[in-house]
């Protein structure tokens, strides 16, 4: 019988109506009580580092989850982390870097409806997550609506439907079908995981809209070590308004700029148009290519938590981790 550790962190799956909206009220053991067959199929222990709506999570909470996995790693065959869906993709990406190359499954799941309501997806997702955690599916993944999605490639693409998550620019790792894990891809892993919980939280995100003022970008650079700019299409910046000068000035002060796209699929290619070509050739910005925004943010925090050397940062950013980007 496989030994699985349940790391419960709150979210919709553990929520109940409070009179002022849903809030996570159900304990880790309470979740297991709703699905007793899990306890009959696996040896399960549980920990609850916190109980929060995932909107309230910060990188400090990512560290707590990673520490739970690290402190218990040798004692279990796999890990199930229950989590709110709204920031689940950020946590999955962060754990992919903080617990790099895990040969054991680290599976995140949640639900669109609380486990105590009749029409919930919670029980199915929880059962599927335990099946995956007991399988030969290494690394960090999200199990949701019978799909197994790579942790660095997941994005919440539906706000209410049970099929809430999609794998962006990468196939699903597998599916859960008739009580079994059907694996399509087995991600590479190390013989032992590399744990690293140091994060630099000085990373900001700017989503461009037509007419964005340069002062917004100046504000973010002043307060952060790196700014990720979600641009339009394949990527670029408005030629008017001083954006290029802004980036040149802040790059000269050692700040990082990363350009990605607001378009979910197919990624960036900033050299295609004149509005993007200079960014890469003359200003030394990093390009996210096919990475999700969630992975870009988490990877930058992880890299900057390890080094501030600009050349090493660039090298680490473009080195794929857990297939977060296709090799360049």
CA pair distance 225, 256, nearest whole angstrom: 6
Choose the catalytic residue: 12, 109, 152, 292: 12
HSE (side-chain half, CA atoms, 13 Å) at 237: 28
Both tokens of 311, joined, read: 């050349």
CA pair distance 14, 159, nearest whole angstrom: 17
CA pair distance 83, 286, nearest whole angstrom: 31
CA pair distance 166, 253, nearest whole angstrom: 38
Both tokens of 301, joined, read: 């925090």
Closest CA to 298 of 64, 94, 48, 84: 94
Count, residues in the chain: 328
Closest CA to 239 of 216, 273, 204, 272: 273
CA pair distance 166, 160, nearest whole angstrom: 14
Closest CA to 238 of 274, 285, 204, 282: 274
Active site residue 260: no
**251: helix, strand or coil:** helix
User: In this structure, are residues 37 and 127 in contact, taking their beta carbons and an 8 Å threshold?
Assistant: yes
* Distance of alpha carbon 106 from the chain centroid: 13
Active site residues: 12
């Amino acid at each position: 019988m496989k030994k699985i550790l349940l790391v419960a962190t709150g979210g919709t799956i553990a929520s109940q109506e409070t009179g002022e909206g849903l809030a996570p009220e159900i304990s880790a053991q309470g979740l297991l009580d709703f699905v007793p067959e899990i306890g009959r199929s696996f040896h399960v222990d549980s920990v609850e580092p916190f109980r929060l709506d995932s909107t309230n999570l910060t990188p400090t909470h990512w560290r707590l989850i990673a520490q739970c996995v690290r402190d218990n790693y040798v004692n279990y065959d796999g890990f199930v982390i229950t989590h709110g869906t709204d920031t689940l993709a950020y946590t999955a990406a962060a754990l992919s870097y903080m617990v790099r190359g895990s040969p054991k499954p680290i599976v995140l799941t949640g639900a669109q409806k609380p486990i105590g309501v009749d029409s919930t997806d919670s029980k199915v997702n929880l059962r599927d997550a335990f099946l995956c955690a007991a399988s030969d599916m290494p690394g960090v993944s999200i199990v949701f609506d019978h799909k197994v999605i790579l942790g660095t490639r997941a994005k919440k693409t539906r706000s209410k439907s049970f099929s809430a998550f999609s794998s962006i620019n990468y196939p699903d790792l597998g599916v859960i079908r008739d009580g079994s894990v059907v694996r399509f891809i087995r991600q590479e892993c190390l013989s032992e995981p590399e744990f690293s919980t140091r994060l630099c939280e000085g990373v900001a995100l700017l989503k461009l809209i037509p007419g964005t003022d340069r002062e917004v970008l100046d504000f973010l650079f002043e307060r952060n070590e790196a700014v990720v700019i979600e641009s339009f299409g394949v990527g670029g910046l408005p030629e008017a308004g001083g954006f290029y000068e802004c980036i040149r000035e802040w790059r000269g002060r050692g700040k990082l700029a990363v350009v990605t796209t607001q378009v979910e699929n197919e990624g960036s290619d900033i050299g295609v148009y004149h509005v993007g070509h200079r960014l890469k050739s003359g200003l030394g910005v990093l390009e996210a290519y096919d990475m999700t925004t969630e992975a870009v943010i988490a990877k930058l925090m992880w890299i900057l938590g390890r080094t501030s050397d600009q050349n090493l940062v660039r090298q680490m950013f473009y080195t794929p981790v857990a297939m977060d980007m296709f090799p360049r």
